[in-house]
Amino acid sequence: MNEKRKKKLNELFQIFSAVADSSYVYLCDMQEDYSRWSKNAVDFFDLPSEYMYNAGQIWEEYIHPEDRESYHRSIDAIFSGKDSGHEMQYRAKARDGNYAVCTCRGFVICDEAGKPEYFGGAIKNHDVINYIDNMTGLRSLYGFFDDLKTMFWKHEKSVILLVGVNGFSNINDIYGYSFGNSILRKLSRLLTEIFGNYGNIYRMDGTKFAVISSDLPLEMMRVMYKKLKDQVAHDFYAQGEHISLSMNGGIVNVDNFDISNETVYSCLKYAYYKSKSRQLGEPVVFLDALSDTNRTVIEKLNVVRNSVSENCKGFYLCYQPIMDAGTEKLKGMEALIRWKNDFYGIIPPVQFIPILEQDPLFPELGKWILRQAMEDGKMMLEKYPDFVMNVNLSYAQLEQSNFADSVLNLLRETGFPAKNLCLEVTERCRLLDMNLLKAMFRKLRAHGIRIALDDFGTGFASLGILRELPVDIIKIDREYVKNVENSTPDQHTVKFISDLADAFSAEVCVEGVETAEMRDFLKRYEVSSLQGYFYSQPITMDQFIEKYVPDNNSDPAQSA
C-alpha cells in the first residue's frame, strides 16, 4: 500500500478512535482492501496484526459459524455498493477460545465523486467490563460493585453515599451536551477534593456519583454531603459560567456482611430517591428513612430479596373485597402482596415494596403477583361472571417496554378473561414517558383490561395524569374520607373527585370505608364501589372463598 494512502488511513483512524469511547475501532481503505484495527481488539481476539489486508475475510473466520452467513451477506453488500453501512450483533471467538457477544456498527465514506473509499466503525464487546468511566476518570458502576464485593470480603464497615444532580437535562438543552459533560467532569473533581482522602469515588449511571468510605463516620458523611450540596448550589463554575446545581443524597451505613451487593444498592437508591422526592435534597439515611434504627431491617430486606430469585418463596397474596356501592354485593377484590417465613414472621409490604422497586428483580415479583392473582381469580368467576380482579402495578413494571405483551401472555397462559382484570397505577407513573404509557394503556384497554388510578389526590400530579392517561376507575384515597361525616372539606373533596370522574367518563371507588356511618354518608355521592375494613380486612384466598363463595344450592348475592 502506498505511504500517502496509509497516512490518510492512520489520520482517519485516530479520528474514529477519539470518539469511539470503549469500543474497538476498525477502518478499511476499500480501494486497497487494507485495514487498521484497534490494538485492544488484536490482543483480545488474537488477530494477526493491527494492519491487515482482506480484514473482512479474516474477521469472518473468528465469527461463530451460526452468525457467519448474515455477516458475510452484509459485508458483500457493503463492498459491492448496495449498502452504505451496517449495524449487527454476532459472536466472535476470543483468544481464550470462548465467544464474546459483539455489536458492530460501520459506515461507508465516499470520495468526492461519490465512490466508496473507506469503511469504518466500532465494535462493542459486551463481554468486556470497563471499570473506569472514560469521561471522568473515576471508577465506574462496575468498579463500584467490584469494590463492594471486596468490602464484604474484608468485612470492612463502611458508609456509602449516592449523590445526583436534579434537572440536568435542562442544562444539556440550554448549553449543549459538551458543556454538560464539562460540568460532570468538574463535579467529579470536586467530589475527589472533598472525599478523596476518605474513600473511593465512582461515576454511576447518568448524573449520579457514589462514595464508599471506611474512614468517615455516618454523621461526618452527612456534614460533608451538605458541604458539597451548598458549594454546587452557590459557588460552582464550569467553563467560566456560574452554574447553580440542585443535588440529592442517600446514605447507607453497612456493618452487616451477610447481605448482597444488590440489597445494599437497592437500599441506597431508596434513600436517594426519598431525598429527591420528599426531602428537597437533604441527606436521607436509609434506616432513618424507615423510622427504624434496628440493623435487622437490611437483613430482612436481603432475605425478602433473595426470596424473589427463589421462585418468590415466602410471598403470598391476600385479598380485600370491593363492593357495589348501590347494592353492596361483591363486585371484585384487590390483590395485596405479603411475605413471611418462620424466622422473621410476617413482614408488611410497606417495609419491602418501596425498596424492591429500586431493584432489577422487582418485575419478576410483579409478574408472579399477576399470575397468582389471575389463577386465584378464576375460582370466583363461576359464581361471579362479572367479578373483577384488581392488581397494583409499580412504575418499575411499567417502564418495561414489553409490559403490555407480558400481561396479555399471562392472560393466555392462565385462561383468565381480560375483561375481568383491572390494573391499578399511582401518580408515580408520571416519572415515565407519558407517550409510551398512553400507548401501553391503549393497547391493554383495547383487549378489555381496565385501568384504575389509585390514591387519587395524594400527590400534585394526579389531575395531570387523569388528563393524560385513559383510565376507567378513580380510587379516592382513605385520607379524604376518614372524617367525611364531619369534615366539610372532605365532603367537598369527594364531590369534586366524583364530578371530575364523571367528566372523564370514569367510575369512582372509595377506599378506607371503616364504619356503617361512613358507608351511608358516601352513598350520597356518585360513587360506584366501596372498599375498606367495614366489609373486610385483607384475607387469604381460602378465607375469601369461605366468606363469599356459597355452595351450589344458594344464591351468591346472599353471601355478600
Q: In which region does residue 365 sit, left (phi positive, over 0), alpha (psi from -120 to 50) or beta (all else)?
A: alpha
Give the distance from CA 76 to its chain's centroid: 40
CA distance 536 to 519: 13
Give the CATH fold of the 318-559 domain: TIM Barrel (3.20.20)
Q: In which region does residue 321 sit, left (phi positive, over 0), alpha (psi from -120 to 50) or beta (all else)?
A: beta
Residue 191 contacts residue 287 (beta carbons within 8 Å) = no
Q: What is the pLDDT of residue 493?
A: 86
Each residue of 291-327: b (16+ CB within 10 Å) or e? eeeeeebbbbbbbbbbbbeeebebbebbbbbbbebee
Residue 178 contacts residue 139 (beta carbons within 8 Å) = no
What is the CATH code of the structural domain delimited by 3-125? 3.30.450.20
CA distance 39 to 26: 10
**CA–CA–CA angle 443, 445, 447 (5° rounding):** 80
Please give the grid coordinates belonging to residue 550: 356459597
- DSSP state letters, 177-216: HHHHHHHHHHHHHHHHHHHTTTSEEEE-STTEEEEEESSS
Please give the grid coordinates belonging to residue 374: 389471575
Please say whether the dihedral angle defined by the alpha carbons of residues 286, 290, 294 and 295, taken in this order, is positive or negative. negative
Q: What is the pLDDT of residue 18?
A: 63
Instruction: Please give the chain's pLDDT, 560 residues, in tens.
Output: 678 888 888 888 877 776 565 689 999 999 999 999 998 899 899 999 999 999 999 999 999 998 999 899 999 999 998 888 888 889 999 988 889 888 898 999 988 888 899 999 999 887 776 777 878 889 889 889 988 888 888 888 899 999 999 888 888 778 788 888 899 999 999 999 999 999 999 999 889 999 999 999 999 999 999 999 999 999 898 888 888 999 999 999 888 777 888 888 988 998 998 898 777 889 999 875 544 444 567 777 888 888 888 889 999 999 999 999 999 999 999 999 999 988 888 888 888 888 888 887 888 999 999 999 999 999 999 889 999 999 999 888 888 878 999 999 999 999 999 999 999 988 777 667 778 888 899 999 999 999 998 877 655 556 767 777 888 999 988 888 888 888 888 888 888 888 888 888 899 999 999 999 999 999 888 899 999 999 999 999 999 999 998 764 444 444 44
**Cross-strand pairs, 124:** 103
In 405-537, beta strands by DSSP E:
421-425, 450-456, 473-476, 507-510, 529-530
Q: Which CATH superfamily includes the segment(s) 141-300?
A: Reverse transcriptase/Diguanylate cyclase domain (3.30.70.270)
Kindly list the domain boundaries of the chain, sorted by start residue. Answer: 3-125, 141-300, 318-559
Each residue of 67-93: b (16+ CB within 10 Å) or e? beeebeebbeebbeeeeeebeeebbbe
Q: CA distances (Å), 444 to each of 61, 367, 417, 556, in order?
A: 47, 16, 12, 30
